[in-house]
Structure 1
Amino acid sequence: MNKFKIFSLAVVASASVAKAQDIKEAKKAIDAEQFQKAKSLLKSIIKAKPSDGEANFVLGNIYLNESVVDSAKIYYLNGLEASDNKNLNYIGLGQLDLDQKNTAAAQANFGLATKDMKRKDVEEFIYIGRAYINSENPDYNNAIAVLKRALALEPQNATALLAIGDAYYGANNQNDAYKAYRDAFTADPTLLRAKMQLGVLLKGAKSYDEAIKSFNEVIALDANYGPVYRELAETYYKWARNKPSTAKVNLQNAITNYEKYLSLTDYSLDSKMRHADFLILVKDYKKLEEVANKMIAEDKVNPRIFRYLGYAAYENGNADVAIKSIEDFIKVPTNKVIGRDYLYLGLSKIKKGTNAEGVVDPAAFDAGFADIKKAIELEPLVVEELADFGKALFGKKQYTQAAAIFQLGANNAESKNYLDDSVYYGISVYYGNAGKTAETRDKVALQNADATFDKILVASPTYDEAYVYKGRINSLLDKDDMIIKNYTEYVTKMTAKGAEEIAKPATTKKIIESYNAIGAAYANTDKAKAVEYFNKTLALDPTNSYASQSVKALK
């Protein structure tokens, strides 16, 4: 489903022939994602007509969509006291139950909502379907089942077709979703969201150029339909991510279209928050920090603003602001903390402890690393965002810290960076111990690195460099048998590739390293073998002083 939930209040048709114009206007504003305007209209309706249960329900749904659960519940409960359409509010309470994973209570509330329905009513079924779709714990199968009940009564109900299309999409049933969206738009050519969703399907299939054509068809019908520009923005962003060669142009297109989207909303705090979310996606952190500070000036209450400010401040080099902002967000018990919050907090602490030469204070690293581990506990795949940071540490020869970062990725086979992180982890451990005396080497880490290269060879059997690093690591562990085994395996692999491979300078250098290491490993137990391998080195490099001196010493 779309990252932005559309609860389609704007397009749920009423069974009643005569509906207040203000309710229609409010629903139209919701479909345009002008939520502040919709709230104002609905509050005016409730003030003028407290008996309007639907207005309370619709307003409660807006608050629930914005994750303001307390306000949502207040309006649902108020709606139950109304005389008109009060039963709809049981559906709102049912979605709150679904969010709490209390399915039995949700179904009980849905039962109360439907028990007095007239034979041909469908509105309640559509709203219940939406509740199942929009819950924090979506149940697409139940949504489909209840929406089919609506369509059994009204097969051409465009709203029900749109809703079931969203349910099919959420259930990864692209074919039925396409048919439902197409049929919804055929049934009601003014239902632009159904037409737009056809483009969303193409975007999800990574057919970005076709998706853009589809969205432009919506714009041709109504150039002021704001949500389509949000979809265009996300499409250009994803295209940029999936095809880096297009990144510069497509990211700018993404930003331009999102700004167009904002211009067609009411610039409410909620729309600005969505803008902030998008700025994080496109990594425009300077703009994000500017937007976050403006939002704080407008609304010092909403805690998510501190999340945005923290992220932006870190990316812009303001570690102190980042730490304070994120800690202010995390410390509030009612805030929904995500892994990325701890990730940025940890990185900010490390950045604060980094001197002008790029060297990290060990205590600062440990404090930050503890938060990074919390991030991964909450969201395991957040580890994918640490690769560049690990490589920066590696480039500054801070191998112990780099190894700690890369090990996090090496421990998660589901990460897209699993192999790369595993290799860097093993190499970092090796270099972090290579200059140490035998007594001070971290043998546990070396043994783990050796085992990691074994896993790499299982996942990527053609990565022959692993044998070289296994040989080097076992040299640090003084394991002569494993030195011989791994370097021999490397030489065998290279020899099998033929003379052209062996003649490459980089390969020749590693073969010489292999022969010398094998010779040294044999030196204490089999002098003849040792001399044999040192002579192999000299055959490739007659001036190799280590090999020639070793031969003399062994004779």
Structure 2
Amino acid sequence: MVKFRIYGFALMATTFAAKAQDLSQATKAIDAEQYEKAKTLLKQSFSANPANGKSAFLLGNIYLKQEVVDSAKIYFEKGLAAPNAGKLNSIGLAQIDLNADNVAAAQAKFDAVVKDLKKKDTEEYVFIARALMNADKPDYKKAITYLTKAKEINPSDTQVLLALGDAYYGERDQNNAYSAYRSAFYIDNTLIRAKMQMGVLLKGAKAYNEAMNAFNEVIGLNANYGPVYREMAETYYLWASNQPKTYDENIAKALSSYTKYMELTDYSLASRMRHADFLVLAKDYKALEAEANEMKKLDKVNPRVLRYLGYASYENGNVDGAISALNEYFVKGKKFIGYDYYYLGLAKIKKAIGADGKTVDATLLNSGIAELKKAVETQPSIASSFNELGVGYFKQKLYNVSSPILETALLSSENKNVFEDNMYYAISVFSENRLKDLKDMDKVAMDKADKAFDRVIVERPEYPDSYLYKARLNSSLEKDDVMAVNYQKFLDITLAKPADVVEKNKAKIIEAYNSLGAHFANSDKTKAKEFFGKTITLDATNKYALESLEKLKK
């Protein structure tokens, strides 16, 4: 019996050691962003030892990261009753509360966890801080508060320092973030995520060469550490975006680096979705469509696949496919971003334009514009993307399409193209109405266009064409006094420029002289003759000026 008991105890100790090893391997897999591997290990660990709530907590966190909230909640609730580390799961449930905007409920759970901590406990503080940082609306300041307490308990805890670095990074405090990462790596030089994050700080500072050097140092330590290739991919993307001359070369490197990241992590649905998000950024829509179709094979019911199919279909010229996929996504999905509405709007607008490139389905166009408005409401910065679209339709002389697009862009205070959007919007409205009789003009739209010219003038008072177009618009509205003031302002600015610029604007100058001559013909004949005379000086055969001068002699 003694021998049996000794054997049984040894077996049990071996089993616990194996499960502890599973947990350690799972933690390493999570850090390496090998989430499917980690999930398998954690499920095995929790199944074999339900008394250890940490397995359930880590598993729930992975599901939260992958936006599978129902599964996350199931594991948090299972782990909550575990005698060992069960309360960690309250932190997971608190993050779900935060994502649901129930801050009070989350704080109550955090307080309950902290209340029962022993003097030297720091892990719970780290996980609370992570929950605050990973929430849909991160609270980095509060995370720093918790981590500062943990650092006071154990200044050498590398996980505390790593999390503190992330919190300061979220707060855009580069100096404290760097100090925390450096300290963590100095204490434990196997913690290469801390080393990698020092490169991430350089990426954020647009020091792309230096960031790459830092990432290559990480690869020198561990060439199979997947996350560093993701960071390299994102750095190459930013490099390409901020230095257009390098775009083709760096986008190719970005895509190659991301492929390497996928190879070293996994090709699960969640990983493919991250890849798809990156392909959207990199504008590789052929690859995006292929990835979306692969995801559809893995999971035919996940609605986010429809998002990617919608984006890719539009960019690859399949308007009907884009509308179909995105409409279905809005029925089946839960969380929507500005680009979901943006792409649906683009597709509807494109479909609204007839095969002849001239006729426009007003109902479908208005529906598309409504989607663009939702895009701006959801994500105000997206308005900056409308410029290329609106100006493109303007150049096609589809003024009734360009004007509502640009007007929608101007709804956002975060639009970076305000000057140009105001100008093209106003010219579009004017161009659409200029050949109509006064009674048939859209006077509301023309008044908005006039105010748009005013905004342009305020922003760039020395830009002559804003006065020229404002004059033309008010001439169409038969507001001759306003017309005359703006033609004169156009002349004052243009004639003060070098001779070559004046020569290039000769036709516009003649237009202004003739318009002013006509304006003064009934009230000040001397002034009228002066303006028509200036026209003749520039163009001795100008028929309108010659005929007008003859009439003024009578």
TM-score range, shorter chain: over 0.9
2:4 counterpart residue number: none
The amino acid that maps onto 2:229 is: Y
The amino acid that maps onto 2:533 is: N
The amino acid that maps onto 1:533 is: F
* 2:475 is aligned with 1:475: yes
1:239 counterpart residue number: 239
Equivalences for residues 119-134 of structure 1 within 5 A:
119-134=119-134
* 2:537 is aligned with 1:534: no
Larger helix percent: 2
* 2:417 is aligned with 1:420: no
1:3 counterpart residue number: none
Q: Relative contact order (alpha carbons < 8 A, sep ≥ 6): 1 or 2 greater?
A: 1
The amino acid that maps onto 1:25 is: Q
2:337 counterpart residue number: 338
Q: Distance in 2 between matches of 1:40 and 1:259?
A: 23
1:349 counterpart residue number: 348
1:24 counterpart residue number: 24
Q: Distance in 2 between matches of 1:143 and 1:381?
A: 27
Q: By how many angstroms is 1:426 displaced? A: 1.4
2:228 counterpart residue number: 228
Q: By how many angstroms is 1:19 displaced? A: 7.5
Query: Once the two structures are superposed, what CA deviation does each residue of 1:496-539 show, in whole Å capped at 9, x if it has no partner?
Result: 3355543xx22222221111111122223333322221111111
* 2:137 is aligned with 1:137: yes
1:369 counterpart residue number: 369
1:205 counterpart residue number: 205
The amino acid that maps onto 2:469 is: Y
The amino acid that maps onto 1:526 is: D
1:465 counterpart residue number: 465
Equivalences for residues 319-334 of structure 1 within 5 A:
319-332=319-332
Contact 1:289 1:308 in 2 (8 A): yes
1:5 counterpart residue number: none
Q: TM-score, normalised by structure 2?
A: 0.94
2:504 counterpart residue number: 506
Secondary structure, aligned partner of 1:344: helix
1:59 counterpart residue number: 59
Q: By how many angstroms is 1:372 displaced? A: 1.6
Contact 1:410 1:419 in 2 (8 A): no
Contact 1:60 1:92 in 2 (8 A): yes
The amino acid that maps onto 2:356 is: E
How has the CA–CA distance of structure 1 residues 148 and 413 changed in structure 2, closer, same or farther, with 3 Å as cutoff? closer
Secondary structure, aligned partner of 1:331: helix
* 2:549 is aligned with 1:551: yes
Contact 1:339 1:382 in 2 (8 A): yes
Secondary structure, aligned partner of 1:117: coil
Unaligned runs of 5+ in 2: 1-15
Secondary structure, aligned partner of 2:440: coil
Q: Distance in 2 between matches of 1:37 and 1:393?
A: 49
Query: Once the two structures are superposed, what CA deviation does each residue of 1:451-474 show, in whole Å capped at 9, x if it has no partner?
Result: 111111212223221111111111
The amino acid that maps onto 2:86 is: K
Q: Distance in 2 between matches of 1:461 and 1:136?
A: 43
The amino acid that maps onto 2:164 is: I
The amino acid that maps onto 1:220 is: G
The amino acid that maps onto 2:281 is: L
2:109 counterpart residue number: 109
Contact 1:57 1:76 in 2 (8 A): yes
Give the count of matched residue pairs. 537
Contact 2:383 2:414 in 1 (8 A): no
Unaligned runs of 5+ in 1: 1-15
* 2:184 is aligned with 1:184: yes
Q: TM-score, normalised by structure 1?
A: 0.94
Q: By how many angstroms is 1:315 displaced? A: 0.8
Contact 2:285 2:316 in 1 (8 A): yes
Query: Once the two structures are superposed, what CA deviation does each residue of 1:285-333 show, in whole Å capped at 9, x if it has no partner?
Result: 111111111111210121101100011011111112111111111113x
Q: By how many angstroms is 1:100 displaced? A: 2.4
Q: Distance in 1 between matches of 2:117 and 2:371?
A: 52
Secondary structure, aligned partner of 1:297: helix
Q: By how many angstroms is 1:17 displaced? A: 11
Contact 2:462 2:493 in 1 (8 A): no
Question: Alignment partner for residue 517 of structure 1, among 515, 518, 522?
Answer: 515
Q: Distance in 2 between matches of 1:342 and 1:180?
A: 40
Q: Distance in 2 between matches of 1:100 and 1:391?
A: 40
Q: Distance in 2 between matches of 1:303 and 1:341?
A: 12
Query: Once the two structures are superposed, what CA deviation does each residue of 1:433-489 show, in whole Å capped at 9, x if it has no partner?
Result: 222222222222222111111111212223221111111111111111111100111
2:456 counterpart residue number: 456
Contact 2:340 2:375 in 1 (8 A): yes
1:83 counterpart residue number: 83
Q: By how many angstroms is 1:492 displaced? A: 1.3
Q: By how many angstroms is 1:364 displaced? A: 2.2
Q: Distance in 1 between matches of 2:100 and 2:528?
A: 70
Greater Cα offset, 459-468 or 42-51 = 459-468
Q: Distance in 2 between matches of 1:434 and 1:285?
A: 40
The amino acid that maps onto 1:357 is: D
Percent sequence identity over matched residues?
Answer: 52
Q: Distance in 1 between matches of 2:349 and 2:245?
A: 32
Contact 1:412 1:418 in 2 (8 A): no
Q: Distance in 1 between matches of 2:510 and 2:224?
A: 70
* 2:490 is aligned with 1:490: yes
Q: Distance in 2 between matches of 1:370 and 1:511?
A: 41
Q: By how many angstroms is 1:45 displaced? A: 0.9
RMSD: 1.7
1:396 counterpart residue number: 396
Q: By how many angstroms is 1:494 displaced? A: 2.4
Contact 1:409 1:422 in 2 (8 A): no
How has the CA–CA distance of structure 1 residues 35 and 83 changed in structure 2, closer, same or farther, with 3 Å as cutoff? same
Greater Cα offset, 406-415 or 340-349 = 406-415
Contact 1:400 1:432 in 2 (8 A): yes
Secondary structure, aligned partner of 1:478: coil
